[in-house]
Structure 1
Amino acid sequence: MRLYPEQLPAHLQAGLSPCYFIYGDEPLLKLEALDELRRAARARGFDERHRFDADEGLDWDAIFDASQSLSLFSARQIIELHLPEKLDKTGSDRLRELLRQCHPDLLLLLAGPRLNQQQQKTAWFKALADAGPLVPVSAPDARHFPRWLEQRLHRHGLKAEPDALHWLAYAFEGNLLAVAGEIEKLSLLDLAQPLTLATLQQNVQPHHHFNPFQLFDPLLQGKVKRACRILLQLRQEGVEAGMLCHLLARELNNLQQLQLGLQHGQPFHQAAAALHIWSSRQPLMQAVLGRLSAAKLSSLLAMLAAADRALAAFDDDEAWRWLYSLCVGFLDDQPLAISP
């Protein structure tokens, strides 16, 4: 069963499952989901907690010893295990062995990073899915972020006018930890309700945050202004142009391979599967191929090559200019003129 963080309160009213796996790349939502599960467990008599990190030096025997021992003070206990980016064969085998030991007086709370489709097909992930609810956590996308903020404000007894809410979404996109702290601060200031744009701008310091993987999807969606904003913010945050070149090269090369496959009569989903493109991203890739001609895609790749040459010449400013031009190049389907 898959649960989302906002579904946990209703789920926990019906009781605790023996095992939960919270995974994803959003630290605030992961921390809050774990806290909610810990509180629910304490209310049911799970007074003892053992935490382990499954790194290379993990002593799995210590986990099994903890899971099988009873203290003098508590007959019910929590084993909390934080999984690494990759789980080796030993870790996979021991984890599945641990899951087989679940019983009513033992609660397993497992936390892990964001997982790709290949990782979600592994034996250990399937064993976790059989053992209890899966709780994926990820930051709300730009469309749903204002609603998330509205709910967060309501939780603290606050309301915001529509323009104030949209400013808050713009000011903190990608940084839930920061905006959660600001909302808590606002709740202590006894401000007039609903909060106005002027009130927020006087009392809140903007702090948005993006990661490099968020750059390409707006380009696929035709949201070029948003992509340019993300690009400029990434530069301010110290992301290296070379890293973006690498990521964009992979995505543009995938588009080119898909385009060639379609030209040779290959079904899109077959070509996408061969390139290991996530099913959730395939509609975006398919849609952009309807807008980009082969000549335009070649021009975009030429721009990326120019950025690479600038990096090789240690000219970072020139590389960033080419990256910005590449983003703007997604605006229409006309071929671009690339200077030699």
Structure 2
Amino acid sequence: MGALTFDALLRSLKPEARAPDPVYYLHGDEDVLKDEALRALTARAVEAAARDFNVDTRSTADLDAAALRTLVDTPPLLAQTRVVVLRGIEQMRRGSKLRQELLRYLAAPNPTTMLILVQSAGEELDPELARFATAVAVEPLPPERVVRWVAHRAKQVELEMEPEAIALLVETAGPSLGALAQELDKLAAVTAGRTATREDVATLAGVRRGQTMHDLADAALERRAADAARLVEPVLEQAGVTGVRILTALGTAVIGTALARAELDRGTPRGRLTAVLLQHLRLARPFGLGDWGETAARWARWAEGWTSGELAQALRLARDADRALKSTTVRDEAGIVTQLVLQLGVLRREAA
């Protein structure tokens, strides 16, 4: 069958588009968008007034072959189509009677049933299911789409937000749509109908101006060791921030700076460096970064203050700090992160 992206799926479900397919297979690593895809598919297949009797959601762990057949063969009630959602499709054992029955059904699906197979994040594509169903790859959004998603989700929960508030929320909560949705619900309750400001987000997350993860990374990569060390404790106290998350951000920053330094060393003109780095980001489509244009500009700026040898040392230090933090015998997150940012400053003095 065909293969679609999340965006292509939404376009295919517009009223003027052709009729939906009988079987969809949702896979990929963004479970929040899978739920949005489910809502869109259900809305296209069954009118709102008929959904109570024509939408069934089950876990494959609770089904056997006979129960599956009953679900997919039951005719719709006072509607043209019924929807059956099977979650946790990866839990079906290969060769099981349930899977064999599902494959038999996929070869000749019921035209009055829309079957939606939902696979959990972190699982590999099942080529056998993809061959018989319309496979929809639901992957994490790029940074600029995350910002737009937050604005869209805020409207859904009747929350007005200033642009600065959205930017800070994405920065502090990270790119996880699940975490962002939870924070939006909290923010809607706190603001009680008024427009949410940057200060509202900062208060909710325990963030003060100049004390964000962004500020900490800036200080560390600009070799301002004392400033970076002073920021470790305030950043760690913020909601959802852990030592591992800080080290991940710092390690990513070092890797990006090393890429920028390598481009300079191979002769890339300084005036084109940000554009070249942005091209790398667009090709790799990494998850978890902020705005790619801003990220590329920061890497280019930081690269001016480092040599390739220093960056290799910085990566080894970040790796050692990560190992120490994940050790079962070490609990001092603040101490490990502080030691790392101070060591990055020492590299400069040793080089001098």
Q: Does the alignment reach a TM-score above 0.5?
A: yes
In the TM superposition, 1:1-340 aligns within 5 A as: 1-4=3-6, 8=10, 11-13=13-15, 14=17, 15-43=19-47, 47-55=53-61, 58-70=63-75, 76-84=81-89, 88-90=93-95, 93-115=100-122, 119-120=124-125, 122-127=126-131, 131-138=133-140, 141=143, 143-154=144-155, 159-173=160-174, 174=176, 175-182=179-186, 185=189, 189-191=192-194, 196-198=197-199, 200=200, 205-206=204-205, 293=308, 296-297=311-312, 300-301=315-316, 304-305=319-320, 308=323, 314-317=329-332, 321-322=335-336, 325-326=339-340
Structure 1: distance between partners of 2:325 and 2:196: 47
Unaligned runs of 5+ in 1: 209-217, 256-277
**Which residue identity lines up with residue 32 of structure 1 in the other structure?**
E
Structure 1: distance between partners of 2:183 and 2:24: 27
TM-score, structure 2 as length reference: 0.56
Structure 2: distance between partners of 1:97 and 1:327: 58
Q: State the partner residue of 1:264.
A: none
CA drift of 1:105 comes to 0.2
Structure 2: distance between partners of 1:161 and 1:170: 14
CA distance 1:137–1:164, shift in 2 (3 Å): same
CA drift of 1:107 comes to 0.5
SS in 2 for 1:168: helix
**Among the aligned pairs, what percent are the same residue?**
16
CA distance 1:235–1:184, shift in 2 (3 Å): closer
Structure 2: distance between partners of 1:313 and 1:64: 48
Unaligned runs of 5+ in 2: 208-216, 259-282, 288-294
CA distance 1:138–1:330, shift in 2 (3 Å): farther
CA drift of 1:63 comes to 0.5
Instruction: Determine which structure has the larger helix proportion and give its number.
Output: 2
CA drift of 1:134 comes to 0.8
CA distance 1:86–1:171, shift in 2 (3 Å): same
CA drift of 1:109 comes to 1.3
Maintained 8 Å contact 1:67/1:106: yes
CA distance 1:167–1:299, shift in 2 (3 Å): closer
CA distance 1:281–1:136, shift in 2 (3 Å): same
CA distance 1:104–1:326, shift in 2 (3 Å): farther
CA distance 1:300–1:11, shift in 2 (3 Å): same
CA drift of 1:66 comes to 2.3
**Which residue identity lines up with residue 64 of structure 2 in the other structure?**
D
User: For this pair of structures, how many residues does the alignment match?
Assistant: 281
1:147-168, CA deviations, whole angstroms, 9 ceiling, x for partnerless residues? 3223334556765433233233
